[in-house]
Structure 1
């Protein structure tokens, strides 16, 4: 009988330990908080960067997410 009739055994994904995932989760969370800050609060008294360049860059995203700005 030919082996072409039999399907190979399904490959199982290897589990990833939590200690390998935690640094990436922390990095992703930091990036998310930074993005929310720049979209939501980078103007006026809380501005870290002077000028309106950041505000204008994220202006449409700000309105899309429901942040008022004018």
Structure 2
């Protein structure tokens, strides 16, 4: 693996890492909160709230990954 010396490359790598972390954390929280909500009998509207929050996080990560991919082209 070549060393990254370009500051723009480092910035893009940091953005890609952040997007990956957001995807992983969102998935764990989404599944975990859905499971906890089912076990505790929370109102279904909270499930929709978790779903929409997860969709927003996934969309944000998709946009960031797409921008990084386009810059590297």
* Class of the TM-score when normalised by the shorter of the 2 chains: 0.3 to 0.5
**Structure with the larger RCO, 1 or 2 (CA within 8 Å, 6+ apart):** 2
